[in-house]
Chain A
Amino acid sequence: MKKGLIKATDAFERIVHWSLAISCLILCFTGLGMMFQSFNFIGDLMGGLKSLKYVHNFTGLFFILALIFTIRMWWREAGIFSMPEDLEWMLCAGGYLWHVDHPPKMGKYNPGQKMFFLTVAFFGVIMVITGLVMWFPFSFPVGLTRWMYPLHALGFVVIFAFFFVHLYLGTIGSPGSLPAMLHGWVTRAWLVKQHAKWLEEMEEKGTLEVYGEEKKGAHGH
């Protein structure tokens, strides 16, 4: 690790993130294998479509766990909007879509990330509920069961599309972001650009961790 990098995430956050991300991706692709007959071949990788069904169902159980940890861990930081800067940010789209001289300074999460978190949390819960009913359809009235399938599909439409937005903005769309979820250390320049308010807060509280420096009294420069 290079000297001067700043710690953005701890190991627990990254483990929870990747538990959710990997289980979600497995669910998306196994789900695709069942949603489209032209994607049935995804089942061949697992020894047939029936095995794929089991992989999907049991990964779903892991997803439930990951989702619980995700919501517990992030709902305060990423589930609540902080006004007025979040509104200002939304009005200028955070400077992502057109040129903005000075987008408002952001805390640990910007409203885009918050919306992504809320979407994943909300539709994640929808996927869990609808998925469980679909797993045990005979325990529920058929009128209810029938609507679980389109709801599950709706959740997929939203989550799968958002996943690609997340992928883009976590990699080439916002260079410097990826390390936050790989090893957790980011550059100061990236923090100033993306989460200046958070950086200031950490400096004030003295919680800033700079690689190669003592934690206490890390007042920049």
Chain B
Amino acid sequence: MKGIELVKLIDTSLCTACRGCQVACKQWNELPAFRTHNSGSYQNPPDLQWNTWTLIRFQEYEDAKGNFKWLFRKDGCMHCTDAACVKVCPSGALHHTTFGTVGIQKEKCIGCKECVAACPFNIPRYDRATDKVTKCDLCYSRLRDSLSPACIKSCPTGALTIGAKDTMIRKAHARVKVLGGDANVYGDKFVDGTHVVYVLTEKPGVYDVLPVKPHVPLSVMAWKDLLKPLSLVAVGGVLAASFLHYIIHGPKTPDDADNQTKEGGA
């Protein structure tokens, strides 16, 4: 797998919500679990947390025809190609790996939380105790050694698979054709393509907290693509203008005390 662009495919039509992936993720990444409360759903914990990088979302859904459906969606980092989090990260803790995934180097994180606000999928989570942000790194430590990520390794139904980007996207579209109906591929068409791609059985808008048209926020572009370079251009311009002013017009020097009435020639 070394050096090739990967895509993890999540086929929601095959997911049985066993949550093996959720546990395997915690095990491999040595993430603790916290006591939670029964909220009337199997979805537990209720949301992603700094110690829960992937989560099966359980959703009870009734479609237009009155059919009841129980939807399962494995939530977690989408590993964007045009990743807002990487764009805003001041320290380089968040970075693109050779697999195309978004890695996170814990030691470099300074806990500024800028990625938390920037992420269009609301994935990074902040841990107050360590003053650091965490998220799924698609098991970089395993990919590096040609092993599949822990979640995929644990998946009993084949809902989770990983492989070369093009192959997986083709596979996703083929699967959608088989499923028919509202089934669709989610992930290959925005933020320059994510490295986690869904086969969704329902339209994206149906799913809880899944953005229909995710994009790098406009604010991030104004900030990083416009104002950031402008800050240096402005300073350069001012320095150049000051220098030119000094050598062309000259400084504004006080006249000699005895000779105040007459202006000296320019």
Q: Interface residues, chain A, CB within 8 Å of chain B?
A: 33-37, 40, 48-50, 52-53, 95-99, 101-102, 134, 137-138, 142, 145-147, 149-150, 153-154, 156-158, 160-162, 164-165, 168, 172-176, 187-190, 192-194
Contact = CB atoms under 8 A, between A and B. Distances in A.
Contacts of A146: 117-118, 217, 219-220
B253 interface: yes
Given A37-B92, A149-B117, 11 more contacts: A34-B112, A53-B112, A102-B263, A146-B217, A153-B231, A157-B227, A174-B252, A176-B254, A189-B255, A193-B252, A193-B253
Contacts of A98: 249
B119 to A, nearest CB: 9
A161 B234 contact: yes
Where chain A touches its partner, the secondary structure class is helix
Interface of B: 88, 90-92, 108, 110-114, 116-118, 122, 126, 131, 217, 219-220, 222-223, 226-228, 230-231, 234-235, 237-239, 242, 245-246, 249, 251-257, 260, 263, 266
A174 B116 CA distance: 47
A49 B242 contact: no
A161 B232 CA distance: 9
13 contacts: A33-B90, A34-B91, A49-B110, A50-B110, A134-B114, A138-B113, A145-B117, A153-B227, A154-B227, A162-B238, A164-B238, A168-B242, A176-B253
Nearest to A157: B231
A95 B113 CA distance: 48
Contacts of A174: 251-252
A26 B122 CA distance: 32
A158 B227 CA distance: 10
A154 B91 CA distance: 20
A99 B266 contact: yes
The 10 closest A-B pairs by CB, nearest first: A150-B223, A99-B266, A161-B234, A153-B227, A34-B90, A189-B254, A168-B242, A146-B219, A193-B254, A50-B110
From B91, B131, B260, name the one whose CB has the most chain A CB atoms within 10 angstroms: B91
B245 A173 contact: yes
Contacts of A37: 90-92
B118 A188 contact: no
A49 B126 CA distance: 17
Given A160-B231, A160-B234, A35 B219 contact: no
Contacts of B131: 50
Given A37-B90, A37-B92, A189-B256, A101 B227 contact: no
